[in-house]
Amino acid sequence: MAYVAIADRDAPIHDPHTFFLKYIWSQDHKVIAIQYAIVAISVGLVALVLSGLMRLQLGFPGTFHFIEPQDYYQFITMHGMIMVIYLLTALFLGGFGNYLIPLMCGARDMVFPYMNMLSFWVYLLAVLVLMASFFVPGGPTGAGWTLYPPQAITQGTPGAGLGIILMLISLGIFIVAFTMGGLNYVTTVLQARCRGMTLMRMPLSVWGIFMATILGLLAFPALLVSAVMMTLDSTLGTSFFMPAVMSLGEKLGHNGGSPLLFQHLFWFFGHPEVYIVALPAFGIVSDLLSTHARKNIFGYRMMVWAIIAIGGLSFVVWAHHMYVSGMNPYFGFFFATTTLIIAIPTAIKVYNWVLTLWKGDIHLTVPMMFAIGFIFTFIHGGLTGLFLGNVTVDLPLSDTYFVVAHFHMVMGVSPILVVFGAIYHWFPKITGRMWNQKLGMVHFWMTFLGTYAIYLPMHYLGILGVPRRYYALGNTDFIPDSVHSINAAITISALIVAAAQLVFLFNMIMSLRKGEKAPPNPWRATTLEWQTPDTPPKHGNWGPKLPVVHRWAYDYSVPGAKEDFIPQNEPVDPKLGAGRDHGTHR
Amino acid sequence: MSNTVIFTALASGVIVWFLIASRLTAKSWESQDEKGDVGAIHTAPERIGLWIFMAVVTSLFSLFISAYAMRMHVGAWCHITIPNILWVNSLVLVAASIAMQRARWAADHGSRSGARAALVMGGMLSVAFLAGQLVAWQQVGPSVYFISGSPAIAFFYVLSAAHGLHLIGGLWVLGRTVSRFAAGAELVDLRLSLQLCSVYWHFLLLVWLVVFGVLLYL
């Protein structure tokens, strides 16, 4: 191993000197985190452009002739897959996970730095393979992000040749990358915490990332299994998923395969995937709210247990994505029940966030605005989830814009708001520079109000019965004119939100170059990453001595304390104690 | 999918048990001492990493087998005729596993030459197993069956290939350990590698036996 990652060893720290080893072929978790983040955000911008193109078609059908129906399906598919896997999963775990776990746990690095580095490069390879599918004959796959067979690999679907193969290969490569990273994150949390950092003193960000990684490690194999078998169906003509099909007047060679089997496997991965994205967001938002409200997180233990319960339950709800698939209807009852049960720990978390704000000394900083914005969008998306979790409500709504509105609220907007909040929050530590607050606020309000303007009307479209996945609605009796006006308005909002992201990028670049120099702990936070000797932290994070933790991560506004926060590594003052046991009410 | 759910339930049970055992009930805002869980658990990270990796591989094979079990009830299915060589292969893999265990024991008893011999023997038996699997592939039927024959044959190819790839990964690590041996590394430094290799080999043996059992009896 190149340098020490284990808490209780005090060997010298290896320090790479060349530019190449320091910033490119680097084993430093912070550099790897930034590499992950840059690639994820770049590929996310591609997906954002694709969504803009889709919206142009939907808002102004017939105006943009360069968007053909097959292009539209390719945009949908690539937008969905990129956003869910290559942006959100990679950014939360590869980006924030990599940056925060060692720093928040008081470790020098991940326990397997070399494998961590490989994880990034393999991820980059997965992204490049996926991007390559834009340039192959037939273009990328247009099967929808769920890639359901038989249509995904049947002629007539865009990209049914090379496009889908590259997608499946890219997913396989991504899973290898994720497994290498995931082994690191879990082992580091279990093994490399510094002295005094008990599991129940870990910040909730680490808890969320930790649990999400465990989910990913157990769930991604389902995607791998389905990708391998679909690749074989497509290339060698096996019949795992492919039933006997007549295609363009010809009988294909497949016989007896089960498309439903694919759906089970896909959603056995796909539902935990929702929480792979949501749990890190839950954790990070808890820390943002607590820090910027200067108040301990309400119900820390309950928050941890809720994360664990959500993680466990997320494996037994997958078929609620399949109510209309033709599976045995008795399954519906079981999966509706488990789906509604998972609302309980989730609701506990929401209550605890709100109660954390209650009577707090709320500082409306940019990260705090995004965190509060998240509570709104998440409650909104969560409530529509209760609708869709019930079979009888889901059946009529399943193929409408209601579902699009629901999952974008809960899985698109909510985690992205947390991503922004987290970037604004940790940017000073990562770069040593402060943001321009005013531009940050502009970015927040444009994004927050803009996304509401996009997705709120979509619920209405869904209730009207407007079908999703359609390239153009045409003249259908049950679709009133107002739908077309709403679609145009949604498109304009979407373009405004996209433009707002340019403000974010501009602000980031300007702050990097000319931003005010950041103090080591600008938010006066308690967690370890703000207590490093250098800002940004140097290779090895802690200088010669590792920190020792004496308290939990949420000692804010302790009565009698000098300041309104006590860092985790500050020894316990016998006169003051460690917090609540002194009968304080905070 | 039911066995996958059972596996997941078991895995979650183990995780929850572990977390409870790690004092998840602690009231962290009150605790001032540093007794008990003070940070890192006292196990080599490589060992934890291997166990987590084995959980991932278990998940992978459980899902493959779930898919097998679901697919066989759908249609156009007939069972595979098991080539006899698979029995021999299974015995070879058992022998490889025993050899790895002997390498570990020899290292524990300080016998350098014994450890090296057993390790090389384990590696060679594993290569023999892989060669035997290739012969089995040939015997199962001409490759055209892969396409038009029963999906059971396709599943056999996929499951044995997935298992074989994991074994090849193990052989790569084994090769590194052998080269460290050759470079004169101390036996004490190699003990962890030998332990982990033997655990991984036992695990892959178990996976193979389950896969073989599924092909035979399910």
Do the domain assignments include residue B155? yes
pLDDT of A581: 43
CB-CB under 8 Å, B37 with A198: yes
Give the separation between CA A183 and CA A101, rounded to whole angstroms.
Answer: 13
Low-confidence ranges of chain A (pLDDT < 70): 1-15, 575-586
The distance of A120 to chain B (nearest Cα, Å) reads 18
**Per the structure block, which two tokens stand in for A222?**
């389902």
The distance of B15 to chain A (nearest Cα, Å) reads 9
Give the separation between CA B84 and CA B132, rounded to whole angstroms.
Answer: 11
Inform me whether the C-beta atom of residue A128 falls under 8 Å from chain B C-beta atoms.
no
Residue of B nearest to A267 (CA): B1
pLDDT of A578: 54
Q: How many other C-beta atoms can be found within 10 angstroms of the C-beta atom of residue A196?
A: 22
CB-CB under 8 Å, A239 with B59: no
CB-CB under 8 Å, A237 with B147: yes
A26, A32 contact by CB (below 8 A):
yes
The distance of A46 to chain B (nearest Cα, Å) reads 31
Match 């249609």 to its residue by tokens: B75
Relative orientation angle of helices A204-235 and B2-21, to the nearest 10 degrees: 160
Q: Which residues contact A436 (CB under 8 A, 6 or more apart)?
A: A507, A510, A511, A515
> Across the interface, which of B37, B39, B146 has its CB nearest the CB of A238?
B146
What Cα–Cα distance (Å) separates residue A477 from each residue in A63, A307, A473, A486, A489? 22, 47, 10, 17, 21
Residue of A nearest to B75 (CA): A256
pLDDT of B143: 57
The distance of A337 to chain B (nearest Cα, Å) reads 16
Inform me whether the C-beta atom of residue B148 falls under 8 Å from chain A C-beta atoms.
yes
The distance of B39 to chain A (nearest Cα, Å) reads 5
Of A56, A89, A90, nearest to A75 by C-alpha is A56
**Per the structure block, which two tokens stand in for A335?**
């999966």
End-to-end CA distance of chain A: 45
Q: Which residues contact B134 (CB under 8 A, 6 or more apart)?
A: none
pLDDT of B151: 84
> Across the interface, which of B15, B26, B38 has its CB nearest the CB of A200?
B26
User: Which one of A112, A210, A218, A558 would you mutate to disrupt binding with B, by most B Cβ within 10 Å of its Cβ?
Assistant: A218
Do the domain assignments include residue B68? no
Of A467, A368, A457, A456, nearest to A417 by C-alpha is A368
DSSP per-residue letters across B90-105: HHHHHHHHHHHHHHHH
Q: What is the pLDDT of residues B76-91, one digit of tens each?
A: 788 888 889 999 999 9
B36 phi, psi to nearest 5 deg:
75, -135
Share of chain B above pLDDT 70, in %: 81
Inform me whether the C-beta atom of residue A526 falls under 8 Å from chain B C-beta atoms.
no
**Per the structure block, which two tokens stand in for A8?**
């209780």
CATH number at residue B168: 1.20.120.80
Of A295, A297, A119, nearest to A207 by C-alpha is A297
The distance of B117 to chain A (nearest Cα, Å) reads 27
CB-CB under 8 Å, B29 with A581: yes
CB-CB under 8 Å, B39 with A106: yes
pLDDT of B7: 67
Inform me whether the C-beta atom of residue B21 falls under 8 Å from chain A C-beta atoms.
no
- Look up residue B159 and give its amino acid: L
Inform me whether the C-beta atom of residue B176 falls under 8 Å from chain A C-beta atoms.
no
Inform me whether the C-beta atom of residue B37 falls under 8 Å from chain A C-beta atoms.
yes
pLDDT of A12: 47
Inform me whether the C-beta atom of residue B172 falls under 8 Å from chain A C-beta atoms.
no
- Residue ranges making up the domain that contains B90: 79-217
DSSP state of A562: S
- The dihedral built from the CA positions of residue A62, A67, A68 and A73, taken in this order, carries a sign that is negative
Domain range annotation of chain A: 28-241+255-582
> Across the interface, which of A221, A222, A261 has its CB nearest the CB of B70?
A261
pLDDT of A5: 43
pLDDT band for B31, please (50, 70, 90 cuts): low
Relative orientation angle of helices A366-389 and A437-464, to the nearest 10 degrees: 10
CB-CB under 8 Å, B56 with A225: no
Inform me whether the C-beta atom of residue A295 falls under 8 Å from chain B C-beta atoms.
no
Chosen CATH of A28-241+255-582 out of 1.20.210.10, 2.70.150.10, 3.20.20.70, 2.30.30.40: 1.20.210.10
> Across the interface, which of A8, A228, A239 has its CB nearest the CB of B158?
A228
> Across the interface, which of B28, B40, B70 has its CB nearest the CB of A258?
B70
The distance of B67 to chain A (nearest Cα, Å) reads 7
A319, A328 contact by CB (below 8 A):
no
What Cα–Cα distance (Å) separates residue A251 from each residue in A156, A162, A247, A248, A254? 14, 21, 6, 8, 8
B97, B201 contact by CB (below 8 A):
yes
Q: Which residues contact B84 (CB under 8 A, 6 or more apart)?
A: none
CA angle, residues B150, B156, B157, in degrees to nearest 5 = 100
A93, A276 contact by CB (below 8 A):
yes
Alpha-helical runs (H) found in B141-186: 144-148, 151-182
Do the domain assignments include residue B9? no
A100, A158 contact by CB (below 8 A):
no
Do the domain assignments include residue B3? no
DSSP H or E run through B18 = helix B2-21
Of B208, B217, B172, B187, nearest to B64 by C-alpha is B208
CB-CB under 8 Å, B8 with A199: no
Give the separation between CA A518 and CA A152, rounded to whole angstroms.
Answer: 50
Q: Which residues contact A58 (CB under 8 A, 6 or more apart)?
A: A472, A487, A490, A491
> Across the interface, which of B36, B39, B59 has its CB nearest the CB of A197?
B39
The distance of B32 to chain A (nearest Cα, Å) reads 7
What Cα–Cα distance (Å) separates residue B94 from each residue in B51, B134, B139? 21, 18, 22
Q: What is the pLDDT of residues B147-196, one digit of tens each?
A: 666 788 889 999 999 999 999 999 999 999 999 988 888 888 889 999 99
pLDDT of B3: 61
Give the separation between CA A81 and CA A129, rounded to whole angstroms.
Answer: 13
A195, A548 contact by CB (below 8 A):
yes
Do the domain assignments include residue B71? no
A191, B43 contact by CB (below 8 A):
yes
The distance of A272 to chain B (nearest Cα, Å) reads 12
B99, B77 contact by CB (below 8 A):
no
Give the separation between CA A523 and CA A563, rounded to whole angstroms.
Answer: 13
Q: Which of residues 411-450 of A touch B (CB under 8 A)?
A: none
Do the domain assignments include residue B102? yes
B140, B153 contact by CB (below 8 A):
yes
Inform me whether the C-beta atom of residue B165 falls under 8 Å from chain A C-beta atoms.
no
Tell me if residue A207 falls in helix, strand or coil.
helix
Of A262, A257, A259, A255, nearest to A225 by C-alpha is A262
Match 């997965």 to its residue by tokens: A126
Inform me whether the C-beta atom of residue B144 falls under 8 Å from chain A C-beta atoms.
no
Match 């655990």 to its residue by tokens: B199
DSSP H or E run through A351 = helix A329-357
Inform me whether the C-beta atom of residue B145 falls under 8 Å from chain A C-beta atoms.
no
User: What's the Rg (C-alpha) of chain B?
Assistant: 21
Q: Which residues contact A323 (CB under 8 A, 6 or more apart)?
A: A332, A335, A391, A394, A395, A398
Do the domain assignments include residue B26? no
A6 phi, psi to nearest 5 deg:
-85, 140
